Structure 1
């Protein structure tokens, strides 16, 4: 139980429905959708659409999404892959011939086909009661009538100012009055509102075919992009089965590759060989083990994971007991493992949403435009800010994540779901680029090993061992920092916190829901 004399948040409790997002307005939209009779899927997508307007640095209709949906909290879990593909002309040889050995973050070549809109429509078809028109209505209102900029969004807007100054059409759409928006500003985006209306009236075809798609293609082609109308028209969402592992008696589920959820599962498999309860939640040992497990998992991902439509990803072998046994036995408590240097090409932003409705339908949902403000390319007439997810490709023939025609890049965004004896227990996710698998492990072990409630688990200070440096939040105790240094970790503070996060815990015996939302963002959990 939290100390009520200290700053903090209480968990949110309800009996009927609950939603948690990174912005109060989006959470409210989700709750209003539930109270109007919508399902968890209806509410999650309505909230995601609003965030696509009011949190432009993190998400948008020019981005991708993944989701895990479990009907009634007991049925078969469906994993939705709403990630886009590279253009058909995007051959590694073309890039090498043109002297491009890495995809620049603000290049038109970083723009993969946005997958979010088709995924939203697919999930609503399978699990919703309302259509895309109703789901988009609050977002249309926010874009047309204006929204008020929240503090964390203003913080990110300021940090993205130089990037936006150099972008394509970004000054017009995202730098009102020639400067970054500040807290309390009212922002209107009439062109984006009109684009959303077209989609609401005509469905996904209004985005992937016709004038909207043509404007995106024309904008990208003017900048040297290889995109065609056929690339957009050919996009499709994949619905498949999740992958998972067992931790502390719970089944933990992730979307399969090209999603990177397998990274989180490998970390859990390694950490399951240790008894974390022997060490405090903010101890040197706990942070050291988490870092070593993360380094092993990122090494695995770099060597083996890509789009399974193009490369053979042996998920069963990677998640096998033998793989974890081979690596955990090498971890020492007095030094770091000697591992190859891994430098993932992407460390982007995102939004995570979790919703559970009265019937206990569960939707764990994540949407992103990759790096903050994506590619900094806005489609000229439509106001669509385009993602830079393609910068996550390697330009390295033979690499599992090498760019290729119609290939999906290795992603970073991962929704998660933990079940117990087949029933949903916790729908959760943690934002923040490469931190996401580490953050999910951190939150889950905070709950299952240390007995923290979902809000305490989200609040607890974090660290990420990234590119050979352990990036620690301010809240990590000085003694822990000194202990990590003594073990050989290169330690550094970070300017911004590691991501954000939301979680909902289902108590089937009491018939209640418990929610938490990360103070590192502007959001909240609400229930009724």
Structure 2
């Protein structure tokens, strides 16, 4: 893998698709009985799309489009924006009910019209990182192998661990997300950059379908309730990502849990290292000239790192 990374650094990303790396990768896959060819790799082209700003109350969001969870996130914003988020400095039972209803409705539309063949709580192997530099430039990036260790196949000639992203497709033909040649699949990644009245932030997460509800709640905490990044990441959340019940952090107050349970099936779960009942987010924020970073408080795989600049400003 070290040699592969060095070759990519020297020759550029097309080396992966058209160079010796691509040829070795295709040969390894075919040696294991797969059908990937060097021609398949050389024909691949990534697309760069314009990102429109989606307004929300006093702020707004820049969301990924197409087959990510960005359109579903926008659907949730529309549903939340139609009502009032109640609670002084943090969401109350009514607000968490609004979250649950918005997630449930948005996922019904997503799975009916866009398709998704992934089980709601299958183990995932996704990485998200958010970065802000000393000038306030931000990146929110998510990459994934899909399941834990992807396909569990390593290309011996390149050292690359292969994903099993074909699992994202619906195996039955004639559906919105059905497998077909040259077709892109629906996926759950949801990196966002958002704006409040006085700050900007970049947030994303790992966790399959649980990603979008986590990112949406954190974004709402920041905009609707004026939390700082630390308070938002420490606040309990729920998950309602298409399963039969709302999964609620057992640290939520009895009053909030009771309000959620009035019209919904609710299952409480601890926010712990494993099993992961909630997504694992990471985010950065910039207010004025000061930068902040946070990661999931219970994850041993999550880190927040600051590098001081020569002038003493956070970078």
5+ residue gaps, structure 2, are 308-313
Report what 1:286 is aligned to: 95
Report what 2:140 is aligned to: 364
TM-score (norm: length of structure 1): 0.52
SS at match of 2:55: strand
Q: How does 1:314-325 map to 2 (within 5 A)?
A: none
Pair 368,344 (structure 1): closer, same or farther in 2 beyond 3 Å: closer
Structure 1 position 193, deviation (Å): 1.2
Bigger relative contact order (CA 8 A; separation at least 6): 1
CA deviation profile, 1:437-487 (whole Å, cap 9, x unmatched): 111111011111222111111121122124212223342334433443342
**2: distance between equivalents of 1:477 and 1:224?**
54
Structure 1 position 410, deviation (Å): 0.5
Contact 1:518–1:524 (Cα < 8 Å) also in 2: no
Report what 1:426 is aligned to: 201
Contact 1:463–1:498 (Cα < 8 Å) also in 2: yes
SS at match of 1:239: coil
Report what 1:473 is aligned to: 249
Report what 2:217 is aligned to: 442
Structure 1 position 417, deviation (Å): 0.9
CA deviation profile, 1:14-45 (whole Å, cap 9, x unmatched): xxxxxxxxxxxxxxxxxxxxxxxxxxxxxxxx
Contact 1:481–1:491 (Cα < 8 Å) also in 2: no
**2: distance between equivalents of 1:501 and 1:450?**
19
Report what 1:399 is aligned to: 175
Structure 1 position 354, deviation (Å): 1.8
Matched, 1:228 2:4: no
Report what 1:301 is aligned to: 110
Which has the larger Rg? 1
Q: CA RMSD in A?
A: 2.6
Matched, 1:376 2:152: yes
**2: distance between equivalents of 1:503 and 1:453?**
11
Q: 2:84 aligns with which of 267, 272, 275?
A: 275
SS at match of 2:286: strand
Matched, 1:454 2:229: yes
Pair 441,364 (structure 1): closer, same or farther in 2 beyond 3 Å: same
Aligned residue-pair number:
299
Tell me which protein shows more helix as a share of its residues.
1
Q: 2:7 aligns with which of 192, 198, 215?
A: 198
Report what 1:209 is aligned to: 18
Q: 1:513 aligns with which of 278, 291, 305?
A: 291
5+ residue gaps, structure 1, are 1-191, 307-341
